[in-house]
Amino acid sequence: MSDVSPEAESWPALPFADWRDTAATLHMWTQIVGKIRMTQSPWLNHSWHVTLYVTPCGITTGTIPHGERTFSIDFDFIAHQLRIHTCDGGDETIPLKSQDTADFYHAVVSTLDDLGYPVAINATPNEVEEAIPFPEDRVHNSYDADAANRFWRVLFQADRVFKEFRADFSGKASPVHFFWGSFDLAVTRFSGREAPDHPGGLPNMPLWVAQEAYSHEVSSAGFWPGSDAFPEPIFYSYAYPTPQGFSEASVAPNGAYWLDAMGEFVLPLDVVRTSGNPDESLLEFLRSTFDAAATLGDWDLGEYRRRHFPHGE
């Protein structure tokens, strides 16, 4: 008999060390697909036009315009295929398997060309220290299908809870979406007030992009799978600008803590997945950290209180 609770089974473990090479490869592959969406889409505030979205089998670009036609690109982490659909009946797949990023890039570009949907992108990755152009990348070539599936399973669980959290706020808030540059799922609330210019500092990201993203005060939360520098999957919550006293705020649940190196509160995935109620534990974290940011940041929440209506009316 397994000693792992049903909740922990539905929220799978994702030790970074077990899939670091696959994570690095998927980071590049999602950048390729995300840049295709970015290139073809009209600009939305805070780069909301570049993001990907969680689906019942993976992550997707959603609908992408191409002249008077449209297409979409989906990562399927059950069948382990990249699917490209077009509005005029095109339907092609590319296997998700261990392969050089250069080969994956050429397969995506050539498939779009064959379908009659050519797209040219800036083929250099963003927000990474070692930015190897995609057509030359023979370094990132790992694909562990089980790890990719577990990553997606954490994403769709987090996506559910983030959407519940988002629904509590009637002010300006982002969709729940996946940023391929930072490789995280995020949701952001806005106070409505302008913020000081962001100092930037992210590798291979133009300063103006960071400053436009943080043009207004925010409280942002998300899920990040970790990195070599911090090899632990975490939920996070931060505010920009950081209000005085935020790092000393009391937040829930037990296991959440302030991480000075990142300037944010974090809650390890393992704390959530092994708790008696993962949804409630994560909601406690999201709500308590937002309450601290909004209170200490002197947000005027009166106009953002959500009015609740009976379902079905």
Residues in the chain: 313
Amino acid making up residue 269: L
pLDDT digits (tens, 9 = 90+) for 19-58: 999 999 999 999 999 999 999 999 999 999 999 999 999 9
Buried b (16+ CB within 10 A) or exposed e, 30-49: bbbbbbbbbebbeeeebbee
Token pair for residue 303? 């106009």
**Hey, is 97 helix, strand or coil?**
coil
CA–CA separation, 29 and 98 (whole Å):
12
Helix axes 16-40, 101-115, angle to 10 degrees: 30
pLDDT digits (tens, 9 = 90+) for 110-166: 999 999 999 999 999 999 999 999 999 999 999 999 999 999 999 999 999 999 999
Buried b (16+ CB within 10 A) or exposed e, 202-240: beebeeebbeebbbbbbbbbbbbbbeeeeebbbbbbbbb
